[in-house]
Chains A and B, each alone.
Chain A
Amino acid sequence: KAGVTQTPRYLIKTRGQQVTLSCSPISGHRSVSWYQQTPGQGLQFLFEYFSETQRNKGNFPGRFSGRQFSNSRSEMNVSTLELGDSALYLCASSTQGVEAFFGQGTRLTVV
């Protein structure tokens, strides 16, 4: 059974640009959540999608957005990148409220 797949694994972007990250959940999982991990703040929740609907949202500015497609694949977008957006972005998939499985993450560096 394939795990959670995140692409790309690494990204380098310039301040002011925008970026799109992709997450393919485990087959059959309808919930996809996104997290940002930084050395100072640890793991912080960005948003959760369930059956193409955003069900929960963390405390991040509107520059961070996401969506989920009918096949449960999800994308997150960050516009007008700032240096502080440099982080490891992790995606998790689960069946509702049960065990969460994470991808390997996308390492975003903003220069």
Chain B
Amino acid sequence: KQEVTQIPAALSVPEGENLVLNCSFTDSAIYNLQWFRQDPGKGLTSLLLIQSSQREQTSGRLNASLDKSSGRSTLYIAASQPGDSATYLCAVTSSGYSTLTFGKGTMLLVSP
């Protein structure tokens, strides 16, 4: 059974810092990995999708990497801003299916 772990559970940083969020998964037979952002009481916003054959994806100040063999992914946020404050969730999809297995998330607070 696939299990996804995210470390740290919570993170507080001052504005302008670069930061890294970590995600690990137990079964390396994944189809893709997706990072999401969730604001309180809201739905999930897709940030980055990494296919299993890819090593990284970039979007603006965000960069996500994937090391399938070691079961790890990182989300790098450059020059953090207060608007980045949210919960960040990592999820993996097993081969051929759309079912996502989620981690518990990292709650990020960026202070002005």
Q: Is the interface of A mostly helix, strand, loop or mixed?
A: strand
**Is the pair B97, A48 in contact by a Cβ cutoff of 8 Å?**
yes
**Is the pair A96, B98 in contact by a Cβ cutoff of 8 Å?**
yes
Residues of B18-53 at the interface with A, using a CB-CB cut-off of 8 Å, are 31-32, 34, 36, 41-46, 49
- Other-chain contact of B97, A35, A55, A88 (Cβ < 8 Å): A55
Count, chain B residues at interface, CB 8 A: 25
Docked complex Cα distance between A102 and B97 (Å):
16
**Is the pair B100, A105 in contact by a Cβ cutoff of 8 Å?**
no
**Is the pair B100, A92 in contact by a Cβ cutoff of 8 Å?**
yes
Known: A42-B102, A48-B99. A97 touches B93 (CB 8 A): yes
Count, chain A residues at interface, CB 8 A: 27
Question: A15 at interface (Cβ–Cβ under 8 A)?
Answer: no
Known: A43-B102, A97-B31, A99-B34. A105 touches B43 (CB 8 A): yes
B65-95 near A? 1/0 per residue, CB < 8 Å: 0000000000000000000000001010101
Binding site for A on B (CB under 8 A): 31-32, 34, 36, 41-46, 49, 89, 91, 93, 95-105
Docked complex Cα distance between A103 and B44 (Å):
7
Binding site for B on A (CB under 8 A): 4, 6, 31, 33, 35, 42-43, 45, 48, 50, 55-56, 88, 90, 92, 94, 96-105, 107
Can you pick out 30 interface pairs between chain A and chain B where the beta carbons lie within 8 Å of each other? Answer: A4-B43, A33-B99, A35-B100, A42-B102, A43-B102, A45-B100, A45-B101, A48-B97, A48-B98, A50-B98, A55-B97, A56-B97, A56-B99, A90-B44, A96-B96, A96-B98, A97-B31, A97-B93, A97-B95, A97-B97, A98-B49, A99-B32, A99-B34, A100-B91, A101-B46, A102-B36, A102-B43, A102-B44, A104-B43, A105-B43
Docked complex Cα distance between A76 and B21 (Å):
33
